[in-house]
Amino acid sequence: MKTWDRLARKAELRERAGLDRRAGPRTDAFDLAGNDYLGLSGHPAVLAAAAAALEEHGLGASGSRLVRGTTGLHETFEADFARHVGAETATLYSSGYLANLGAVAALAGPVLLDAHAHASLHDAARLAGTASDTFAHNDLGDLERKLSELRPAIVVVESVYSVLGDAAPLAELHAIAAAHEALLVIDEAHAIGTVGPSGGGGAAAAGLAADPGVVITATLSKALGAAGGIVAGPAELRRHLVDTSRPFIYDTAPPPAVIAGAAAALGLAREADRDRAELARRAAR
């Protein structure tokens, strides 16, 4: 078939250019690439919580959040996570990727992204269907310039960047966004559990989590060792997401057992100051 011939030719070209990718099984090699930052994915308390929920609720959620998919575990986790980061509400999605699509697309309006923002945030800007642009990584001057051209905009950053592991100057970014009446969306995927007071993330550390101009997105798949995504912010944001966010409405809810495990991990992460200090020491090294 012509389609497969064309794709095979493209794959050959990618391979020749060294751009092919492999998704092989992991080995027992020393892990310098995984995201289980606090080692919680196999913690006995996490596994016990997940096992109990598995027994009670079965493997899958059996429906979308608005149909049969919401359990008390989902609701309790949302309240607990909101408290953890210092935001008014939080809304679960089945992955961090979908949480980003949901948050950015639902907010609408021109989107201005840090050039190092995760692929899901760039895809979210595309899905939003409005003008979008990037500013140079962590470059406040470039952000100012672009904001004056594109406003009003949503400014999208990460608190700890996934590739280089560097931090964003959140207080300065927030001041600039606020001066232009732009919302600041902060992806805390790599910061929840690893930075901030009790691992509450970068926005909590900068005192921004309860600011009405700030929206936090995160994943449960890194320091919490589980899977799922979440968007935290004011009550008006949650209402808007529940009523209109397509990746929330038309997606099967995250499995209850995974959320139960993540809830146990969140409790452990809160108390993990020593592990956080060790993680910071190793990251610096």
Ligand X SMILES: Cc1ncc(COP(=O)(O)O)c(C=O)c1O
Residues that bind ligand X (CB under 6 A): 95-97, 100, 118, 120, 158, 162, 187, 189, 219, 221, 229
- Measured from each CB, the residue nearest to ligand X is 96
Say if residues 153 and 185 touch (Cβ distance below 8 Å): no
The least distance separating ligand X from the CB of residue 228, rounded to whole angstroms, comes to 7
Q: Which is nearer to ligand X, 153 or 157 (CB)?
A: 157
Q: Please report how close the Cβ of residue 97 comes to ligand X at its closest, in angstroms.
A: 4
Instruction: Provide, rounded to whole angstroms, the least separation between the CB of residue 179 and ligand X.
Output: 26
Where do we find the tokens 């575990």?
73
Question: Between 229 and 261, whose beta carbon lies closer to ligand X?
Answer: 229
Shortest Cβ 232–ligand X spacing (Å)? 14
Minimum distance, C-beta of residue 258 to ligand X, in the bound complex (Å): 11
Q: Which is nearer to ligand X, 187 or 275 (CB)?
A: 187
Contacts of 159 (CB under 8 A, 6+ apart): 167, 168, 170, 186, 187, 188, 190, 191, 195, 201, 202, 203
Query: Which of 283, 80, 79 is CA-nearest to residue 190?
Result: 283
**φ, ψ at 127 (rounded to 5°):** -65, -35
- The answer to whether 184 touches 212, Cβ cutoff 8 Å, is no
One-letter amino acid of 215: V
User: What burial class does residue 88 get, using C-beta atoms within 10 Å of its C-beta: 0-12 exposed, 13-18 middle, 19+ buried?
Assistant: middle
Instruction: Select 64 or 162, whichever has its Cβ closest to ligand X.
Output: 162
Nearer to ligand X, 117 or 272 (CB): 117
Contact (Cβ atoms closer than 8 angstroms) between residue 222 and residue 195: no
